[in-house]
Structure 1
Amino acid sequence: MKESVYKSYEELPLFLNARIVAQVLGIAPSSAYELMHESNFPVLKAGSRMVVPKEKFIQWVERNTGGDS
């Protein structure tokens, strides 16, 4: 597994693209693209571009890990 380059949520930009999602989760970019196409993943579509709002991403992580932090 790849190590995340981000050490806290505060370091994340307001919107995350697939490359950043992959870096944060320590997964391959192709896996991030697949994840971003899942119906329960919080994606904002702007034309053909897909981005993930930082706060929605944090909520998704917490929901899917059972964490509260």
Structure 2
Amino acid sequence: MDPKAEHSFSDADKIPSWGAPYVAAAAKAGLIQGRDNNEFEPTATATRAESATMILSLLKYLKM
């Protein structure tokens, strides 16, 4: 994890400070992309499709 990584989500102010570096690192690694209007929506529930996309992105990132 890169603690200096920054994200560009339009609702970044809604991401808790403890989670912000992890969100930024995941976005930098291409594991997450956000939703419409470049929003992360930290309080929303992930859909099955979003969950599957994150898992597949992680597997690809890990080269599995």
- Say which structure, 1 or 2, has more relative contact order (CA 8 Å, 6+ apart): 2
Q: Which has the higher strand share?
A: 1
TM-score, with structure 1 as normaliser: 0.30
TM-score, with structure 2 as normaliser: 0.31
